[in-house]
Structure 1
Amino acid sequence: MDLKLEMVVLPVSDIDRAKAFYEKVGFRLDVDYTASDDFRVVHFTPPGSECSIIFGKGMTDIPAGAFQGLYLIVSDIDEAHAELTGRGIAVSEIFHDEGGLLHHGHEGGRCVHDGKGQRRIAGLHPERASYGSYLTFSDPDGNGWVLQEVSKRLPGR
């Protein structure tokens, strides 16, 4: 049985502000539908992704900005940084983490792995290893996104 992640319901406080932000980031607007005063759905898909985000009125009771560590994969983190900053999106500088494999946090967060915190190291992964370099940004509500450079997929992916 194949199971494919199709959609993530994103908690936002201002639908139109979130819509403008995700358009600016470059996500494709698929649907903006209002059924009633109590229900509106806005559906976006990141370029190249099969999984989408959806937000709106009457969608979720999760507090706006509660999601952290939403991963987007890019093949070139330098190009992604340049494109997002060129679009006026406030992004972090490119970094890698001291563990060298997977960044487990978002803006300024301290995460625990095997009893040790992780630390951001400025710049690209020293060997430019696939899965090793990152940047982050947040939407206007504080939902946190991580861009990870993947130039070569692990076997089976």
Structure 2
Amino acid sequence: MKLEVVVVPVADVDRTKDFYKALGWREDADVAAGADFRVVQLTPPGSPCSIIFGSGVTSAAPGSTQGLHLIVDDIEAARSELAERGVDVGEVFHDAGGVFHRAGTEGRVSGPEPDRQSYGSYTSFSDPDGNGWILQEVTTRLPGR
């Protein structure tokens, strides 16, 4: 099994489509079937998994999806690129316990993981509805990955 698509609940389909396309994400589909159903699919560069949003796609509240992870090999460069594209991206941080970031901002320590250990540095941003994304720096994969 492979994770192929994640549904992201949004209020304004066109605004959301513009936001993700401005990030450089590829538009895979934009299909409407009547006035009450439209599905848009976009894929981050290099990702095998896409997002889908639209009208009549989910009953979840717009902005209610949190903790979506995008993996990058250089957290500082990825943060800079998002900022250059007009995204309100947070500062780079690591977790005080050194394991994994916690929900919200609890345990966040400013700056990258001190040894730049793989899986240890993060930043975050939200789409226009508040769906929350985490960028995580991964330079060396765990065994079996």
Q: Fold-level match, TM-score > 0.5? A: yes
Query: Normalising by the residue count of structure 1, what TM-score does the alignment of the two structures yield?
Result: 0.90
Give CA-to-partner distance per residue, 1:92-145, whole Å, 9 cap, x none: 01010101121132xxx25xxxxxxx4110101000000000000000100000
The one-letter code of the counterpart of 1:132 is: G
Structure-1 separation of matches of 2:112 and 2:81: 17
Alignment of 1:5-154 (within 5 A): 5-105=3-103, 109=104, 118-154=106-142
Percent identical residues? 59
| 8 Å contact kept, 1:69–1:104 | no
Structure-1 separation of matches of 2:38 and 2:97: 42
Unmatched runs of 5 consecutive residues or more in structure 2: none
Structure-1 separation of matches of 2:102 and 2:95: 9
Shift of 1:27: 1.2
Unmatched runs of 5 consecutive residues or more in structure 1: 111-117
CA-based RMSD of the aligned residues comes to: 0.9
